[in-house]
Amino acid sequence: MDRPGVGRVFRLLGPWMPRRSRWTVPAEETRGESRKETLENIREPSLSSYTGGPHFFEYLFVVSLKRTHSGDDYEPTITYQFPKRENLLRGQQEEEERLHGAIPLFCFPDGNEWAPLTDYPRETFSFVLTNVDGTRKIGYCRRLLPAGPGPRLPIVYCIISCIGCFGLFSKILDEVEKRHQISMAVIYPFMQGLRESAFPAPGKTVTLKSFIPDSGTEFISLTRPLDSRLEHVDLRSLLGCLNHEQILHIFASAVLERRIIFLAEDLSTLSQCIHAAAALLYPFSWAHTYIPVVPESLLATVCSPTPFMVGVQKRFIQEVLDSPMEEVLLVDLCEGTFLKSVGDEGDVLPPKLQNDILSSLAQGNSDLKTLEQVNEHVSGPFVQFFIRTVGHYASYLKRGPDGQGSFQERPFCKALPSKTSRRFVKKFVKTQLFSLFIQEAEKSRTSHAGYFRQKITEYEEQKKQKKPKEKTVK
């Protein structure tokens, strides 16, 4: 089966492309004229980028596989949506039309060659769409076989939201799935009640009242994690697939904005691991191509000369290996190995700080019980790494009378006492990761990146307490 052209696919996505890091891919002939389609990369979301409004979600779609006109294969098609199109305002209808072009592609990224099945393991995964104004929407997906006898094709429930909270939306998908087994009509009142509820503050719970035929009235509690910084990730996914040193090498590749490809067979592992890897960059945000699960028709992404972080199903491994790629880290999550690497991943970070990260990750694993504890344990050493290398940035923001900041790059780099740390930071300040962070800090008249600022203060206080002790020992 021939794949649709990459240019055609991105025309379908239309405005759901971000603002920076443009690259060009040839499009197919259009009305006899050859032209090029400009693609703007899908960027990794930081929580501050989500434009959460009063609603938990914007749309619920059900995507099913329907036979093509030729009858040879299947095409993903939206077969149900909430709210209904006739209930949308004109601007919402235009947005919904754009979503209709993108959603089926990302709900069935593995192509159109399907056959009815009697057994299929459910998968929960996600994708990210970035609008031209930089706002982002997440698609939370649950793919499974619908209820019924005999062989049948899988369907996908897809919730579109501006809010990053994967655990909470997984529970919502459980409720949608349970109601769909009874009737599509039972989904409507549940989703209407959810849409009318206010999204809870960190650590708070919202309770929904919902009626289910033959079961009566149910009360569903949806609780948001207390630490909203990591509520959009599950760092256990990386720990389950890779060892600490491999995770460190992925981090090293990411901070220098290299090309990283994750391979896994199931969609859940791909999307969880890529979100986890990007989360380790906090307080910085990945600013380049970011596709948790690359649809088959977009596999040419791996040939891009610009930085990217993408997930590809392992069934396409040969196509990936045959693609012309330069300086890429190719991570096999199924086998826990690197199939390709630059070779210097172990030398990117300052040796002492690298050893400190590994030492911290190795401590106290048996005491970790909850997801929040695991997330804090894994992310903490990487936050400390940034504190020790660039945590002094605020001291080198010189502000004018208007409050606008100007970053003093040279003295900032020279301020580090360690030669290896200076060497790393001189490279890091040239990345978009750091540039975007500093641009925001220059504009902000208040403390930038609250949690990071808090950890910097704690670190500085600890250093002050150590100095008197060191003098006493001398």
- Domain chopping of the chain, boundaries: 59-201, 235-353, 367-463
What is residue 168's three-state secondary structure?
Answer: helix
Structural element, H or E, at residue 260: strand 259-264
- C-alpha torsion 246→252→253→256, nearest 10: 180
pLDDT at 87: 67
CATH 1.20.1250.20, domain 235-353, yes or no: no
Sort 61 into a burial class: Cβ within 10 Å, 0-12 / 13-18 / 19+: buried
Q: Residues 59-201: name the CATH superfamily.
A: Longin module (3.30.450.200)
What is residue 224's three-state secondary structure?
Answer: coil
Q: Do 59-201 and 235-353 come out as alike in CATH topology?
A: no
Positive/negative CA dihedral, 84, 85, 87, 89: positive
The whole-angstrom separation of Cα 249 and Cα 288 is 19
Mean pLDDT of residues grouped by 10 in the chain (474 residues)? 37 34 30 31 38 68 89 88 74 74 90 86 88 78 89 94 87 88 84 86 85 82 80 90 97 97 94 94 90 90 92 94 91 97 96 96 81 90 97 92 87 95 97 94 72 90 73 46
pLDDT at 90: 67
pLDDT at 225: 77
pLDDT at 473: 44
Peptide bond into 283 cis (omega under 30): yes
CA-to-CA separations, 154 to 70, 100, 110, 278, in angstroms, rounded: 20, 19, 12, 30
pLDDT at 448: 53
pLDDT at 394: 92
Residues of the chain by 3-state class (helix, strand, coil), percent to 5: 45, 20, 35
Residue in the block written with tokens 């009737």: 183
pLDDT at 1: 39
pLDDT at 148: 82
